[in-house]
């Protein structure tokens, strides 16, 4: 296996937006008749589509709550910045020829409100939103969509995210998942890789290249050994 595409989640992975998302979600819930939820409970909604998050909170009308959430959050978007190391990582990935994609649980209208304003936007070849697929995260559909558009196998995708739904999406699609530890306080989420910083992603890719070379070398050595034994048998006849 050799990765050909690196796909990222946006919030809590590329962009340090979780504090504003959590703050505005809590405010929206209170203002629409819900209770006072703690940060951990509110964080559970991040990474899910609006529809999937509906069952997490006891509010009279989730659609109203979601509208308020978007209303409160949108003015804070200019405050959101890429995590340290993200831009250098994207530059290096581009220079190495990787395809770059985004798989987000936001609907396209919200993605188009915020993502183009972020300095990471020009680096990406493809953006997949929740309403682009039949089943958004944690289902594997977003990464299957990426694989189809990129013309590669799902196993050739490394998906980087900060939520359990991201890692579940990777597993469901047959891709590999890297938990962005720079964006989540939860280090117990099952994943294939655990990069501490954005630039640690390069170590994963370098390790994969070394592994591929070792496999090719082992295969060649085995082939050479078989050929040697065949030649020896022929000479002994």
**What is the DSSP-derived secondary structure letter of residue 21?**
H
Q: How many domains does the chain have?
A: 2
> Are 159 and 143 in contact, with CB atoms under 8 Å apart?
yes
Tell whether 225 is covered by a domain. no
Alpha helices (runs of H) in 79-196, residue ranges in sequence order: 86-95, 108-114, 141-150, 164-173
My answer on whether 38 and 116 are in the same domain is no
Residues 95, 47: Cα–Cα separation, whole Å:
29
DSSP string, 152-165: S-GGGEEEEESSHH
Summarised one tens digit per residue, pLDDT across range 136-179 is: 999 999 999 999 999 999 999 999 999 999 999 999 999 999 99
Secondary structure class of 59 (helix, strand, coil): coil
Tell whether 228 is covered by a domain. no
My answer on whether 146 and 103 are in the same domain is yes
Least confident of 82-96, 163-177, 215-229: 215-229
Instruction: Tell me what percent of the residues of the chain surpass a pLDDT of 70.
Output: 87
| Residue 60 lies in domain | 18-79
User: Could you tell me the strand order of the sheet in which 99-103 lies?
Assistant: 126-128, 99-103, 5-8, 157-161, 176-179
My answer on whether 162 and 66 are in the same domain is no
My answer on whether 64 and 91 are in the same domain is no
User: In this predicted model, which residue has the larger pLDDT, 229 or 108?
Assistant: 108
Residue 40: pLDDT over 50: yes
- The pLDDT of residue 229 is 67
* Token output for 145: 């969509």
Residue 163, number of CB atoms within 10 A of its CB: 28
Residue with tokens 């529809």: 51
Q: What is the mean pLDDT of the chain?
A: 91
pTM metric for this prediction: 0.85
Summarised one tens digit per residue, pLDDT across range 5-33 is: 999 999 999 999 999 999 999 999 999 99
């Amino acid at each position: 296996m050799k990765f050909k595409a690196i796909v990222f989640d946006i919030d809590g992975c590329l962009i340090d937006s979780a504090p504003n998302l959590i703050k505005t979600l809590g405010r929206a819930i209170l203002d629409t008749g819900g209770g006072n939820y703690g940060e951990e409970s509110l964080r559970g909604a991040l990474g899910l589509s609006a529809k999937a998050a509906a069952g997490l909170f006891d509010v009279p009308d989730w659609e109203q709550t979601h509208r308020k959430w978007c209303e409160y959050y949108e003015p804070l978007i200019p405050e959101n910045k890429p995590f340290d190391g993200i831009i250098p990582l994207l530059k290096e990935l581009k220079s190495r020829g990787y395809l770059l994609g985004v798989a987000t649980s936001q609907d396209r209208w919200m993605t188009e409100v915020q993502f183009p304003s972020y300095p990471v936007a020009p680096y990406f070849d493809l953006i997949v939103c929740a309403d682009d697929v039949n089943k958004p995260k944690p289902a594997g559909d977003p990464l299957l969509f990426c694989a189809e558009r990129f013309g590669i196998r799902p196993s050739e995708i490394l998906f980087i995210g900060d939520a359990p739904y991201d890692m579940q999406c990777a597993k469901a699609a047959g891709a590999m998942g890297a938990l962005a530890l720079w964006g989540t306080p939860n280090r117990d989420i099952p994943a294939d890789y655990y990069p501490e910083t954005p630039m640690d992603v390069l170590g994963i890719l370098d390790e994969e290249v070394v592994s591929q070379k070792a496999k090719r070398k082992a295969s060649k050595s085995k082939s050479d050994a078989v050929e040697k034994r065949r030649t020896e048998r022929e000479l002994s006849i």
